[in-house]
Amino acid sequence: MSINAALLIILLLIAVFFLFVEIFTVLFMLTGLPERKARFQVISILTNTGFTTGESEVITSSRRRRRLATITMLFGYIYAVAIVSMIINALLAFEKSGDGDP
């Protein structure tokens, strides 16, 4: 695997992450959250950081939002596993190709 392919994969992963953020932001906005709060909560749920803030009470107070947050968490975990797997596979392929030292 060349360095160009690795950079392309990283850019693709970033684009997919932003796509997830936008999709889940719209879904949370459909439940009545303002865009700013919805985006913050989606990013904190997907990255597993900051979800325990006081603002998360608007998520936990609604059954639909809790269910949507659960689905968002699952997407975040699956995405994290996919990223780790892709990075390990890229490093192994890069090492086998002999293009350089990872």
pLDDT in tens, 46-72: 988 876 677 788 888 889 999 999 999
pLDDT of residue 52: 66
CA atoms within 13 A on the CB side of 99: 14
pLDDT of residue 58: 86
| pTM listed for this prediction | 0.79
Residue 79, C-beta contacts closer than 8 angstroms, at least 6 positions apart: 16, 17, 20, 46
Residue 8 above 60 pLDDT? yes
The CA-atom distances, in angstroms, between 27 and each of 12, 19, 32, 66, 92 are 23, 12, 9, 12, 38
